[in-house]
Amino acid sequence: MADLQFSDARADDEEIGAIDSLVGEPAVMRQGERLVRGGLSRRRASRHLLLPGLHLLQNSKGWISPGGLNYLAEVLQVPPAEAYGVASFYDLFETEEPSQPGPRHRVCVDPSCAVAGSAELILELREAGCQVHESPCLGQCDRAPAMFIQELGKPDNVPADADGLVHRQQGSPALRLLKRFGVTDPSDLDSYRSHGGYNALNLALDMGPEAVLDQLTASGLSGRGGAGFPTGRKWRSVAAATSESKHIVANADESEPGTFKDRLILENDPFAVIEAMTIAGVTTGSRHGWVYIRGEYPLATERLTRAIESARASGLLGTNIAGSNHSFDIEIRRGAGAYICGEETALFNSIEGRRGEPRNKPPFPTTSGLFGEPTVINNPETLINVLEILDRGVDEYRALGTDLSPGTKLFCVSGHVGSPGLYETPFGTPLGQLLEMAGGVTGSLQSILMGGAAGRFVGPEMLDLPLTLEDAAARDTTLGSGAITVFSTEVDMGNIVRRLAKFFRDESCGQCVPCRIGTTRQHEVLLQITDKGPDAAQRQLLDDISAVMSDASICGLGHTAASAVQSALDLGLLQADMS
């Protein structure tokens, strides 16, 4: 790389301190006018520290100043234009000095919070003189309307975290994935171990990689992050890859509106994710683990950090884990407000200190993932299923659910139900029964959004739908991330649909033309529709936009950006006089 050029903007002491703490020593020494990089940090510093560094700058100053960015970019040897390109990609980073000091309140305006009164909350906060930003779904749809607060020099704060877990199924013997929720102490490794923790890792070490892969394949487990790819096949490809360095990534970026399961898993059972990742590591021969966790999840991050430390202290992470000859360790990376970074290849770029723009596939992550190396990437719910499969054995695991959708599934039920929350049920449970578990519909049912913004609306006639992958596909809907958002007839669905279109317009990474401009045009047309619904020309245009986005976009965001809108049009949800 050529010698980098920097502007004259200088970092102040706070910014320098923040970055030095990241690389572990004064990384750059000032000798007169010249900056000299220290030896050790020069070796250790690398671009994947860019995202953590930007978090530190944002927190120390309330924004990312040109001086702070220069210092960070110099330490990590990243061209400043590229570092700025990265900083300006994320919602949680400000690249302009805030006009108003004080804490920044981010209030969710996505569907579950909109129907729970987020507009009123925003008004109240503004009247009280608070600085308010409208936010996409904050993954707290079970306690809508949701809020997240950033404040100078203080840890990010979710006020609702103080209330603790209220879980309707707590302690029920029918639970598998949620069996430890509210039962064990998530900060205590012994508590985890006394409830079956680390049994599966011992089994995996005893039976060896081949047997683990066979069990995974036989279990029929498929990915819970939305795409439903067979997990056994994914692990097997990485196990077979001949590479010095491979990676296990837990995708806890959870930003699909209506989804909050991964937050609750990491808050209530963090050791389970660590154990499952470790099993993935020893099974595929990967030493490096990464958890990419949503920036808006401070409590989950804190608990996971502590759990990783205590697992390391007990020899369950690091070299020779659990007395074996395997090594495996985990690093955490916090996202910074970008739905697209949940897309696996965008996530890799984000960790690598690049803009969260998805890569073209092929090549796939199993051959060219993080840092271009073979990578297993899984959703936390997928990962904790592995523990159940090994603990119970394949037969008992498959005793619940259906042949094509074995086991249990987590559903995030929110909106107009009596008890919004996370529910575990065997695959095949009818949709109506799940809503009853969640306290029943409050009011009279108008429609249900299945699978979040990337999913589809269905009407009351779908209450008999058995919740399986195959039934959902056969009836032209999806389980997606497991988000189930319920709307009563009180709701003006036009507002909800326009908001979903706005969500995609805001969250498109902007890389490809069909999605960058298509999401904008789709939103514009929806804003122009009257409450009689679209006229023929508007409908034609929406269909044309939908086709190019789903046919020609690079990634799943563009492919699904018209899915919910199209289903709402087909159900006539945009005609106010329909209901």
Partner 1 sequence: MTQQDVSEVSVHINDTAVTVEQGTTLLQAARLAGVEIPTLCWAENLTPVNACRLCVVEQEGTRALIPSCSRLCEDGIRVETDSDRVRHSRRMILEFLASTNDLSQSAELQEWAESYQIDLDRYISPEKNNDEVKIEDDLFVRAYDRCVLCYKCVEACGDDAQHSFAIAIAGRGFDARVSTEYEVELPESACVYCGNCVGVCPTNALQFKVEFDLRESDEWRPEDQSTTETICSYCGVGCSLELHTQNNQIFKVTSPSDHSVTSGHLCIKGRFGWQYVHAPKYEPSKKS
Ligand X SMILES: Cc1cc2nc3c(=O)[nH]c(=O)nc-3n(C[C@H](O)[C@H](O)[C@H](O)COP(=O)(O)O)c2cc1C
**Residue 482 contact, options ligand FES, ligand SF4, ligand X, none, Cβ 5-8 Å cut-off depending on partner type:** none
Q: Which residues in 108-127 contact ligand FES (CB under 6 A)?
A: 108, 110-113
How many helices (H) and strands (E) would you count in the chain? Answer: 24, 14
> Among ligand SF4, partner 1, ligand FES, none, what does residue 557 contact (CB within 5–8 Å per kind)?
ligand SF4
**The one among 45, 56, 87, 144 contacting ligand FES by CB under 6 A:** 144
The DSSP symbol for 445 reads: E
Total Cβ atoms within 10 A of residue 73: 23
Nearer to ligand SF4, 105 or 523 (CB): 523
Cα gap 231→224, rounded to integer Å: 10
452 binds ligand X (CB under 6 A): no
Binding to ligand X, residues 331-350 (CB under 6 A)? 340, 342-344
Residue count, binding to ligand X (CB under 6 A) = 22
User: Residue 84 binds which entry of partner 1, ligand SF4, ligand FES, none, with Cβ cut-offs from 5 to 8 Å by kind?
Assistant: partner 1
| CB of 526 vs partner 1, minimal distance in Å | 12
**3-state class of 178 per DSSP?**
coil
Which chain residues interact with ligand SF4 by CB under 6 A? 340, 358, 508-512, 515-516, 553-555, 557-558
DSSP string, 12-75: -HHHHHHHHHHHTS--EEEETTEEEE-HHHHHH--GGGHHHHHHHHHHHHSS--HHHHHHHHHH
Binding segment for ligand X (CB under 6 A), chosen from 64-72, 92-100, 375-383, 493-501, is 375-383
Examine residue 226 and tell whether it contacts ligand X (CB under 6 A): yes
The item of ligand X, partner 1, ligand FES, none sharing an interface with residue 138, based on CB under 5 to 8 Å by kind, is: ligand FES
Q: Which amino acid is at 14?
A: E
140 binds ligand FES (CB under 6 A): yes
With CB under 5 to 8 Å by kind, the binding choice for 544 among ligand FES, ligand SF4, partner 1, none is: partner 1
Phi, then psi, of 33 in degrees rounded to 5 = -85, -10
CA dist list (Å): 71 to 6, 28, 31, 387:
9, 8, 14, 44
Binding site partner of 52, from ligand X, ligand SF4, partner 1, none, Cβ cut-off 5-8 A by kind: none
Structure tokens at 399: 């005793």
CA distances from 314 to 189, 198, 383, 569 (A): 9, 12, 21, 56
Q: Whole-angstrom Cα distance, residue 479 to residue 485?
A: 12
Tabulate helix, strand, coil % of the chain (nearest 5).
45, 15, 40
Say which residues have a Cβ less than 8 Å from residue 143's Cβ, sequence separation at least 6.
160, 163, 420
Q: For partner 1, give the closer residue by CB, 335 or 407.
A: 335
Region binding ligand FES by CB under 6 A among candidate stretches 137-145, 160-168, 212-220, 534-542: 137-145
Maximum distance among all Cα pairs of the chain, rounded to whole angstroms: 75
From the CB of 506, what's the least distance to ligand X, in Å? 13
How far apart are CB 469 and ligand X at their closest, in Å? 12
**What's the CA gap between 532 and 543, in Å, rounded?**
18
- What is the DSSP track for 223-291? -SSSS--BHHHHHHHHHH---S--EEEEEE---STT--HHHHHHHH-HHHHHHHHHHHHHHHT--EEEE
- Does residue 389 belong to the site contacting ligand FES (CB under 6 A)? no
Binding mask 237-266 for ligand FES (x = CB under 6 A): --------------------xx--------
Residue list 12-51, contact with ligand X (CB under 6 A):
none
Task: Give the CA radius of gyration of the chain.
Answer: 24
Rounded to a whole number of angstroms, the minimum distance from the CB of residue 136 to partner 1 is 12
d(CA 249, CA 369): 10
Q: Indicate which of ligand X, ligand FES, partner 1, none lies near residue 46 (CB less than 5 to 8 Å, by partner kind).
A: none
**Measured distance CA(165)–CA(156) in Å, rounded:** 19
The token pair that represents 5 in the structure block: 């050029």
What gap in Å lies between CA 220 and CA 28, rounded to an integer? 52
> Smallest gap, in angstroms, from Cβ of residue 118 to ligand X?
21
Among 251, 349, 375, 425, binds ligand X (CB under 6 A): 251
Ranges within 54-113 binding ligand FES (CB under 6 A)? 108, 110-113
The listed partner (ligand SF4, ligand X, ligand FES, none) that binds 224, CB under 5 to 8 Å by sort, is ligand X
Indicate whether 138 belongs to the interface with ligand FES (CB under 6 A): yes
Among 382, 485, 508, 550, binds ligand X (CB under 6 A): 382
Nearer to ligand FES, 139 or 285 (CB): 139
Give the footprint of partner 1 on this chain (CB under 8 A). 1-2, 4-5, 7, 66, 69, 79-85, 88-89, 95, 338, 355, 360, 505-514, 516-521, 524, 528, 537, 541, 544-545, 547-548, 550-554, 559
16: its two tokens: 């320098």
What's the rounded Cα separation, in Å, for the pair 338 and 295? Answer: 9
Quickly count: other Cβ atoms within 10 Å of residue 13's Cβ. 8
Residues 283, 209: contact at Cβ < 8 Å?
yes
- Least distance CB 196 / ligand FES (angstroms): 31
- Phi and psi of 294, rounded to 5°? -50, 135
Closest CB to ligand SF4 among residues 119, 517: 517
User: Which of partner 1, ligand X, ligand FES, none does residue 226 bind to, with CB < 5 to 8 Å depending on kind?
Assistant: ligand X
Binding site for ligand X (CB under 6 A): 223-227, 229, 251, 253-256, 340, 342-344, 377-379, 382, 555-557
Positions that interact with ligand FES (CB under 6 A): 108, 110-113, 137-141, 144, 146, 257-258
